Amino acid sequence: MPKRKRTPDKLDTVQNAHRVFMQSIESTETTELTIVQKVMREMGAKGGKIGGKRRLETMTDEQRRRSARKAAKARWASAKKTP
């Protein structure tokens, strides 16, 4: 019976996954943001910082209580699920 020779050019699963990953990194292109995109990003970040404070100022006491209860229930519900 003839001996089987190993073919060094075939990669196993992990080596193939690594090769594909490295190729995908090389093929991605970095895109520069336009001026409009940069301005909109800054505006969005600023609005996010202001949003919580402004929301608390405009909410009534009852709305704040409801929101706090809902948040507490959500926190305790996740605590009960994990042992």
Tell me which of 14-23, 28-37, 61-70, 72-81 is least confident: 28-37
Name the residue with higher pLDDT: 8 or 59. 59
Handedness of CA 66, 68, 71, 72 (dihedral sign): negative
Name the residue with higher pLDDT: 42 or 60. 60
Q: Which whole number is the average pLDDT over 65-71?
A: 92
Q: Which whole number is the average pLDDT over 7-28?
A: 79
Provide the token pair at 28: 């991605």
Name the residue with higher pLDDT: 31 or 71. 71
Kindly list the distances between the CA atom of residue 70 and the CA atoms of 17, 21, 58, in Å, as whole numbers in the listed order: 44, 43, 18
Provide the token pair at 58: 């405009």
Contact 31, 38 (CB under 8 A): no
* pLDDT surpasses 80 at 21: yes
Mean pLDDT of the chain: 80
Give the separation between CA 1 and CA 60, rounded to whole angstroms: 87
